[in-house]
């Protein structure tokens, strides 16, 4: 395509205010529209939404555009989206350039003037670059159809079964000696009240019966290499006699279902450890599950008639109020499931052990899910007594005096009774502890899994790519991503399985075509490029006949080239480049960045 045929469309996204609250998007579009070859320059409230994408596709057809630039959020979120829109307009997807004016402009620069100036310059640089783009085709690479599921709790079991349902071979590894995770010990589970143990037994039976699924218990990941379609994961299996067997699993995709762990209160927190009858909610559910109904519940040989439940222990912590962990972190998040689980436990206790008094000390009640509010109403109807505390004045657990009705006193300034100080004598205190991310281990370290500030693994986008990690081919299932209940864990596991099936059922994956290419005209066969290449067979110099003369030329094997560019930097004649990332493109961007006088004040 000759230079004078270039027709560029430029689109600046408001991102619903995320960008336009700081960047004057109309001004950026106006400035872009003044540049040579820019045929259309528009703004749009949400470029990623259907109307935005259709705008691109329609403009390509209406105006004969052959290059597209979109300034929006990070390319990790929507580069693929806009390439697809470009394809729908009839263009090659790589005649597209993405500008990140959200994560790297509007979210990091306080001054609207500076942000607008920078966005204008970045768009100018993208326009300079996109002129050099050429049509490219993705490289198809054969993919393993096997999926690896890491973690054999309820989410891992659900994901493995769904993957097997697609006919895919599955390796399911679990570090403990048995499948099932934490659900088995929860007794009956909300909202329907079925047995957690029964639920797990059913899933494990189905997994065992599925020919597609290979289960490895006592097994953990020790390392991983590769990329989407072709991961190689090394696992170590404890044989039970102080030795381990290392195995390599070749998998096209990985489902991470490593779960979470309950928060462990520090010694003295609400009397934990100091009083043996202060227990966590998971421990209490296990006690309740194993107890025979009727009479009084017995804990540590003591008859339990009065029980206090305290909410938000290790959740919704606030700096300056709560004690940070040794690594100085706090659990800022709500753990979501503990309110409903606590209320259900209170009701179960009263219904199974009539005559037991239950006192519920809460900050807020968050029974958010379908059927959860009914559990709150049931607790009220069962006679659970609610007392509300403020975050700065949590309940105090102290030793009761002889003659008190229980062994411990829980004292609270109850905001439901205008801040009245109330003392309740109890036999047992149950701490509704939050969820913390479990250790993911070597898999996360070697494949570089991103996690949020809360330590849970972080998806690419909570709505647009809710179960995918930024590492292509790795998806998330269950509470490794965030606190959630069993229902939500299973939903995310099924979603993860569908994502993996979409990747692996084709038998191949498409990799971006950004590999080295050689200009036969410029190449003089010096071979400097070959000396820099670390990948066996990716690059070599061959002899060829040109105009009756034998000449030496470098040739690239695109399937073996990784596109690192080490060869590019050393070519004396600039004969080699990375497709889609050429030196000409980078130089054009630097020219554009330096071109306009910049008036930027520091933030």
Q: Which of 382, 377, 346, 381 is nearest to 361 (CA)?
A: 346
- Residue 232 in the binding site for other proteins (CB under 8 A): no
Using alpha carbons, select from 39, 52, 38, 45 the residue that is nearest to residue 20: 45
Nearer to other proteins, 109 or 322 (CB): 109
Q: Which range, of 53-61, 70-78, 303-311, 432-440, touches other proteins by CB under 8 A?
A: 70-78
Exactly one of 67, 78, 118, 146 binds other proteins (CB under 8 A); which one? 118
**By CB under 8 A, residue 558 contacts other proteins:** no
For residue 319, state whether it binds other proteins (rule: CB under 8 A): no
600 is a site residue for other proteins (CB under 8 A): yes
Among 10, 69, 123, 125, binds other proteins (CB under 8 A): 125
8 A C-beta contact, residue 219 and residue 237: yes
- Given the rule CB under 8 A, which of 203-211, 354-362, 489-497, 583-591 is the region that contacts other proteins? 583-591
Residue closer to other proteins by CB (options 401, 453) is 453
For every residue of 226-254, which 3-state class applies, written as one string? EECCEEEEEEEEECCCCCEEEEEEEECEE
- Tell me which of 92, 111, 217, 230 binds other proteins, using CB under 8 A: 111
CB of 454 to other proteins, least distance (A): 13
Q: Residue 25 or residue 215: which is nearer to other proteins going by CB?
A: 25
Kindly report the three-state secondary structure assignment for every residue of 201-229. HHHHHHHHHCCCEEEECCEEEEEEEEECC
603 binding other proteins? (CB under 8 A): yes
| Interactions with other proteins, residue window 360-389 (CB under 8 A) | none
d(Cα 413, Cα 593) in Å, to the nearest integer?
61
Q: Which is nearer to other proteins, 56 or 125 (CB)?
A: 125
Please state, as a whole number, how many other Cβ atoms lie within 10 Å of the Cβ of residue 139: 17
Q: Is the dihedral of CA 180, 185, 190, 192 positive or negative?
A: positive
80, 84, 92, 104: residue in contact with other proteins (rule CB under 8 A): 104
- Residues in contact with other proteins, total (CB under 8 A)? 52
Q: Residue 245 or residue 595: which is nearer to other proteins going by CB? A: 595
* Closest to 123 measured CA to CA, from 72, 198, 78: 72
- When asked if residue 102 is in the footprint of other proteins (CB under 8 A), the reply is yes
Residue 114 or 184 with smaller CB distance to other proteins: 114
- Please state the closest distance from residue 287 (CB atom) to other proteins, in A: 40
Instruction: Report the distance separating Cα 260 and Cα 272, nearest Å.
Output: 21
Q: Which stretch binds other proteins (CB under 8 A): 274-282, 324-332, 500-508, 528-536?
A: 528-536
Taking the alpha carbons at both ends of the chain, their separation in whole angstroms is: 43
How many other CB atoms are there within 10 angstroms of residue 595's CB atom? 12
* 95 DSSP 8-state letter: S
Q: Which position among 49, 58, 76, 465 is part of the footprint of other proteins (CB under 8 A)?
A: 76
Determine the Cα–Cα distance for residues 563 and 586; give it in Å rounded to an integer: 15
* Torsion sign over Cα 171, 174, 175, 177: negative
Q: Is 141 in the site for other proteins (CB under 8 A)?
A: no
Neighbours of 287 (CB within 10 A): 18
Does residue 134 interact with other proteins by CB under 8 A?
Answer: no
Tally the residues of the chain.
603
Region from 31-39, 216-224, 398-406, 565-573 binding other proteins, contact rule CB under 8 A = 565-573
Q: Which of 37, 45, 58, 74 binds other proteins (CB under 8 A)?
A: 74
The four Cα atoms 116, 122, 125, 131 give a dihedral, to 10 degrees, of -100
How is the beta sheet containing 96-100 ordered, strand by strand? 38-44, 8-13, 67-72, 96-100
Site for other proteins contains 534 (CB under 8 A): yes
- Beta-carbon contacts of 213 under 8 Å, excluding residues fewer than 6 positions away, are 160, 161, 164, 170, 171, 172, 207
CA pair distance 309, 287, nearest whole angstrom = 15
587 sits near other proteins (criterion: CB under 8 A): yes
C-alpha 256/C-alpha 245 separation (Å) is 22
- 535 counts as binding other proteins under rule CB under 8 A: yes
Q: Measured from the CB of residue 205, what is the shortest distance to other proteins in angstroms?
A: 40
Q: Is the CB of residue 553 less than 8 Å from the CB of residue 519?
A: no
User: Taking CB under 8 A as the criterion, which residues in 415-454 touch other proteins?
Assistant: 448, 450-451, 453
Instruction: Say if residues 122 and 10 touch (Cβ distance below 8 Å).
Output: no
Q: Which of 371, 390, 391, 586 binds other proteins (CB under 8 A)?
A: 586
CB of 346 to other proteins, least distance (A): 39
Q: Provide the pairing of β-strand 147-150 with 139-142.
A: unpaired
The DSSP call for residue 104 is I
Question: Judged by CB under 8 A, does residue 59 bind other proteins?
Answer: no
Minimum CB distance to other proteins smaller for 528 or for 544: 528
Give the integer Cα–Cα distance in Å for 327 and 323: 11
CB-nearer residue toward other proteins: 58 or 558: 558
Residue closer to other proteins (CB basis): 92 or 446: 446
Using CB under 8 A, which of the segments 99-107, 241-249, 274-282, 485-493 binds other proteins? Answer: 99-107
Comparing CB distances to other proteins, the nearer of 264 and 461 is 461
Among 109, 146, 306, 484, binds other proteins (CB under 8 A): 109
* Contact range with other proteins by CB under 8 A, out of 97-105, 243-251, 392-400, 491-499: 97-105
Question: Which candidate, 448, 445, 489, places its Cα nearest to that of 467?
Answer: 489
| Interface residue list for other proteins (CB under 8 A) | 74-76, 100, 102-105, 107-111, 114-115, 117-118, 121-122, 125, 448, 450-451, 453, 470, 514, 532, 534-535, 562-566, 568-570, 578, 581, 583, 586-587, 589-591, 593-594, 598, 600-603
């Amino acid at each position: 395509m000759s230079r004078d045929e270039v027709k560029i469309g430029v689109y600046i996204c408001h991102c619903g205010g995320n960008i336009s609250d700081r960047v004057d998007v109309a001004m950026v579009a106006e400035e872009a529209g003044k540049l040579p070859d820019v045929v259309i320059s528009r703004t749009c409230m949400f470029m990623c939404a259907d109307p935005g994408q259709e705008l691109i596709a329609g403009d390509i057809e209406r105006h004969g555009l052959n290059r597209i630039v979109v300034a929006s959020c990070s390319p990790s979120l929507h580069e693929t989206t806009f390439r697809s829109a470009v394809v729908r307009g009839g263009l090659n997807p790589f005649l597209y350039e993405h500008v990140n004016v959200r994560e790297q402009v509007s979210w990091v620069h306080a001054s609207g003037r500076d942000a607008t100036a920078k966005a204008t310059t970045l768009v100018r640089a993208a326009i300079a670059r996109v002129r050099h783009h050429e049509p490219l085709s993705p490289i198809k690479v054969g993919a393993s159809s096997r999926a690896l599921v890491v973690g054999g709790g309820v989410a891992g079991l659900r994901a493995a079964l769904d993957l097997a349902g697609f006919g895919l071979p599955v390796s399911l590894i679990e570090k403990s000696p048995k499948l099932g995770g934490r659900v088995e010990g929860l007794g009956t589970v909300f909202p329907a009240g079925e047995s957690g143990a029964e639920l797990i037994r059913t899933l494990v039976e189905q997994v065992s019966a599925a020919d597609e699924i290979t289960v490895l218990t006592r097994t953990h990941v020790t390392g991983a290499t590769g990329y989407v379609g072709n991961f190689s994961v090394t696992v170590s299996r404890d044989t039970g006699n102080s030795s381990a067997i290392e195995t390599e699993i070749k998998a096209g995709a990985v489902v991470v279902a490593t779960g979470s762990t309950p928060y462990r209160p520090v010694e003295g927190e609400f009397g934990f450890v100091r009083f043996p009858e202060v227990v966590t909610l998971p421990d209490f559910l296990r006690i309740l599950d194993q107890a025979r109904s009727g009479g009084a519940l017995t804990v540590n040989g003591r008859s339990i008639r009065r029980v206090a439940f305290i909410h938000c222990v290790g959740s919704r912590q606030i700096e300056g109020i709560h004690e940070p962990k040794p690594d100085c972190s706090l659990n800022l998040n709500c753990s979501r499931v503990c309110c409903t689980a606590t209320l259900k436990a209170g009701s179960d206790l009263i219904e199974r052990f009539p005559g037991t008094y239950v006192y519920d000390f809460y900050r807020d009640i968050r029974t958010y899910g379908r059927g959860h509010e009914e559990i709150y109403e049931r607790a009220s109807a069962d006679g659970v007594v609610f007392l509300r505390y403020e975050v700065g004045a949590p309940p105090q657990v102290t030793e009761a005096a002889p003659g008190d009705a229980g062994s411990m006193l829980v004292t609270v300034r109850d905001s439901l009774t205008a801040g009245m100080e109330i003392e309740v004598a109890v036999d047992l205190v149950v701490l509704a502890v939050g969820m913390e991310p479990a250790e993911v281990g070597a898999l996360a370290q070697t494949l570089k899994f991103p996690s949020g500030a809360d330590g849970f693994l972080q998806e690419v986008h909570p709505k647009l790519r809710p179960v995918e990690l930024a590492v292509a081919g790795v998806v998330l299932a269950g509470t490794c991503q965030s606190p959630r209940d069993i229902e939500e864990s299973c939903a995310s596991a099924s979603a993860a399985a569908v994502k993996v099936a979409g990747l692996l059922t084709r038998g191949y994956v498409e990799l971006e075509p950004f590999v080295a290419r050689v200009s036969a005209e410029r190449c003089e066969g010096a071979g400097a490029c070959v000396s820099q290449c670390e990948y066996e067979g990716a690059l070599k110099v061959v002899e060829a006949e040109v105009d009756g003369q034998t000449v030496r030329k470098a040739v690239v094997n695109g399937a073996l080239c990784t596109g690192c560019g080490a060869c590019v930097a050393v070519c004396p004649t600039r004969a080699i480049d990375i497709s889609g990332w050429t030196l000409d493109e980078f130089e054009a961007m630097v020219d554009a960045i330096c071109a306009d006088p910049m008036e930027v004040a520091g933030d």
